[in-house]
Amino acid sequence: MNLYFSETQLAHKPTQFMMHGRIVAPFETPERASALVTALVGIGLTSLTPRDHGREAILAVHADHYVRFLETAYQRFSALSPRGPEVWPNVHPYRGAGADLAHRAPPRTTGIVGQAGWYMGDMACATMEGSFAAAYASAQAAINGADDIVDGAPASFALCRPPGHHAYSDRASGFCFLNNAAIAAERLRRRFSRVAIIDFDTHHGDGTQAIFYRRNDVFYASVHTDPSAYYPYFAGYGDEIGDGEGRGFTLNLPLAPGADDRAFAGANQTLAQAVKAFGAEALVISAGWDAHGEDPLSKLKVTTAGFAQIGAIWGSLRLPSVIVQEGGYSLIASAAAAPAFLTAFDRSIGQ
């Protein structure tokens, strides 16, 4: 299996993160990616630098005005005086959650402070000089991984960092700038008419859900921690099933805090049955290792063995699959969970 990763993805090095009213050191660090590369090459994956396919695939998901904001935000912010070290919003427009976020016109405000509030949904996306280059390279990893599948490979791994599933079509949030899973799904649609995205990150992929909420050609299914008292708070509930033509093509299975391997595997099995019923021809797996009980952001109690269990579940579908890296903030736990998942996945898919 090919693993796509670029050293450019390490250029995003935020220094601050707002958590529970305190500024703390970020959890989303370059070291996450480095630890995963080492662990996955160690089990036999072939690490390749992704080819640059330009912006076409990115703009199939994201608004051009949003991408241009990301590209220029730090340079524009640097002209402010006084200022902090990174672009960080301090104002936000009132917004709902769900499909209404899929398409917005550019903001009327032209200043960097106002635009940061418009295009950044929270204070988890501190943006510095290398942030756009890293996010762009991360998206290219997803594009290359999807192209492997389009070309006939049974599976590929896109080691996307920064992650992507909280990014809306025109909004960064939750450590995410460009939605790598959505970009991969759109790329797969060049060959496959029905694509499923399954997401087992401990946080609901609200951005991915919103992007496809009114569509019936891409099925989004997620198992995650109950968002009623957990990020992203405003999306990921069981009654969110899609809208319009997309009604019935979104499935959310929130888990109560403390859920263990058995509950996690059972929910993934339910998602797998739904993917079969949808008739998916290809699969995007948003793989977050932060459901691990040793992850600093986890409220679940999944073990490394639990990730092996779900690897077997998803491999047994034998669908062409691009696995897209999402969360996972313990270097040790992630470096154990990812190889366990992929080893079981490979064994089940017969690769």
DSSP H/E element including 23: strand 22-24
Residues in Cβ contact with 262 at an 8 Å cutoff, skipping those fewer than 6 apart: none
- Residue 120 is classified by DSSP as B
166 is known as an active-site residue? yes
Q: CA–CA separation, 116 vs 86, rounded Å? A: 11
DSSP letter string over 326-341? -----HHHHHHHHHHH
* Residue 56 burial by Cβ neighbours in a 10 Å radius (0-12, 13-18, 19+): exposed
Q: b or e along 209-232 (b: 16 or more beta carbons within 10 Å of the residue's beta carbon)?
A: bbbbbbbeebbbbbbbbbbeebbb
Give me the catalytic one of 62, 165, 166, 292: 166
* Residue 19 burial by Cβ neighbours in a 10 Å radius (0-12, 13-18, 19+): middle
Rounded to a whole number of angstroms, the CA Rg of the chain reads: 18
Would you state the structure tokens that stand for residue 79, as one six-digit string? 């002209």
Q: CA–CA separation, 338 vs 36, rounded Å? A: 8
Residues classed as catalytic: 166
